[in-house]
Amino acid sequence: MNEQPSSSKFRSFLFIWFGQLISLTGSGLTGFALGVWVFQQTGSVTQFALIALFSTLPGIIFSPFAGALVDRWDRRIAMIVSDAGAALCTAIIALLLFTGVLKIWHLYLLLSISSSFSAFQWPAYSAATTLLVPKAQLGRASGMVQVAEAVAGIGAPVMAGTLMGIMPVYSIMFIDFATFLFALVTLTIIRVPRPEISAENLTARGSLWREAMYGWKYITARPGLLGLLLFFASTNFTVSIVQVLFTPLVLSFSNPATLGLIMTMGGVGMLAGSLLMSIWGGPKRRIFGILGFSLLQAIVLFAAGFPPNVAILSAAVFIFMFTSPLINGCSQAIWQTKTAPDVQGRVFSVRRMIAWSSLPLAYILAGPLADKVFEPLMAADGALAGSVGRFLGVGPGRGIGLLFILLGILSLLMTAIISMYRHTRRVELELPDVVISQPAPQT
């Protein structure tokens, strides 16, 4: 069989990218609308927060097995299975809403099933990108993927909020179902080449359990990648706490309109960073991009904890979100060039499982840390009111501010530690590239 020319492969990537952009936007509509529906129905912040848990935890647990299946299957087929399963769950939720019989437990169950199907999506998408995009352009491709996420993140809440004023929630979900169908159509008209069989793949073959566990063995045999992965797991913990507590922090001194403005600045920052990554592709030594921009994020997080100011917080959120796609894009390019294409499903699934393993813990700890520890310490009559309170202020939100400062310091320490770890600092030099360089596509 003749090999696809490089320009044809890149066009296939663009087809997939555009389909996923539309699908992500539809999923954003559903996520926003369902969150509002649950809160309106229950009035419970806990049940509202459980949406995030059921939407992520099953996918994290199932990831290693999904990755093993991705490597057994055609990457395109794996993405079709993922999108079709998620579309079916969305349609069922919409029908239950339409008939007026949807219960909260129905929602959690179907979101868990949809999350399990989504476990196929990211490793299959990442592995397909490696096979379709020239090695030199992988950083740019990662930036484009994050552009799609940023566009969906900015546009979906605005569209969903508008649509909820003119149509029922189930109609919004049927729109999401249509976007899934659009993504499926784009996947049916392209072809993703199969990777060549590597020595790593031959070593990993066996039962589904053996292949699922191979991703962990692959990573632990490469100390530089393991260090990078543990660094992201730790930073994801701090970032997740910040994400949970940012809304209470802003509302402690301002109103929802201001919160919306600040969060919009974050979305604009993420879009700007994604566009820069898609054009630039990151520095030649991508590990320096990860470390440098992580250092900047830590400084910004530290600054966000000081006495509240809308302009300073808006700038902090913009910078923090601007650097996120640059960090993630550099990391993705390193993993794609250092991991054999025919085992990327297994390796990337374990990679995501470990990197995200800290998220549930962060979701569980964030509320108690704020309500039971830091807010009482920084109350007007709190234990730290006469000391730290003189600099940070006292009252609602100041405990969260102190926690942000401590998380910023922790992030600085984690960045310093991983910078001193030789294997991660030199990961691009110590590990050989396993993705063969291809000519750049003609434009």
Cβ atoms of 282 and 146 closer than 8 Å: no
Q: Does a structural domain hold residue 221? A: yes
Under DSSP, is residue 338 helix (H, G, I), strand (E, B) or coil? helix
Question: Distance between CA 423 and CA 34 in Å, rounded?
Answer: 44
Structural domain of residue 42, as residue ranges? 1-187
Task: For residues 170 and 218, state if they share a domain.
Answer: no
Task: For residues 58 and 132, state if they share a domain.
Answer: yes
For residue 162 the two structure tokens come to 């508008």
Instruction: Report which DSSP code applies to 342.
Output: G
Question: Distance between CA 112 and CA 61 in Å, rounded?
Answer: 11
Question: Distance between CA 345 and CA 66 in Å, rounded?
Answer: 8
| Torsional sign, CA 139, 143, 145, 146 | positive
Q: What domain count does the chain have?
A: 2
Predicted model pTM: 0.74
Cβ atoms of 332 and 278 closer than 8 Å: no
Q: Does a structural domain hold residue 6? A: yes
Task: For residues 162 and 54, state if they share a domain.
Answer: yes
**Of 187, 222, 255, which closes a domain?**
187
Question: Distance between CA 212 and CA 67 in Å, rounded?
Answer: 7
Quote the pLDDT of residue 260.
67
Task: For residues 227 and 155, state if they share a domain.
Answer: no
Quote the pLDDT of residue 156.
75
Question: Distance between CA 145 and CA 126 in Å, rounded?
Answer: 10
Task: For residues 125 and 180, state if they share a domain.
Answer: yes
Q: Does a structural domain hold residue 99? A: yes
Quote the pLDDT of residue 266.
83
For residue 277 the two structure tokens come to 């990554």
The burial of 272, by beta-carbon neighbours within 10 Å (0-12 exposed, 13-18 middle, 19 or more buried), is given as middle
Question: Distance between CA 153 and CA 133 in Å, rounded?
Answer: 25
For residue 84 the two structure tokens come to 């079709």
CA angle at 91 for the pair 356 and 19, rounded to the nearest 5°: 65
Task: For residues 215 and 178, state if they share a domain.
Answer: no
Please give the chain's pLDDT, 443 residues, in tens: 444 555 677 788 888 888 888 888 888 888 777 777 776 777 655 666 677 778 878 888 888 888 888 888 888 888 888 889 989 998 998 899 888 888 888 888 988 898 888 888 878 888 888 888 887 777 778 788 878 877 777 777 777 777 877 888 888 888 889 998 998 888 888 787 777 665 565 565 667 777 778 888 899 999 999 999 999 999 999 998 888 788 788 878 887 667 767 877 888 898 899 889 888 888 889 999 999 999 999 999 999 888 888 888 999 999 999 999 899 989 988 998 898 877 888 888 888 889 888 888 887 788 788 888 898 999 989 899 889 888 888 888 899 999 999 999 999 999 999 999 999 999 999 998 875 444 444 33
Task: For residues 94 and 172, state if they share a domain.
Answer: yes
User: What CATH number did the domain enclosing 267 receive?
Assistant: 1.20.1250.20
Task: For residues 258 and 182, state if they share a domain.
Answer: no
Question: Distance between CA 276 and CA 283 in Å, rounded?
Answer: 12
For residue 215 the two structure tokens come to 């991703």
Task: For residues 231 and 363, state if they share a domain.
Answer: yes
Q: Does a structural domain hold residue 435? A: no
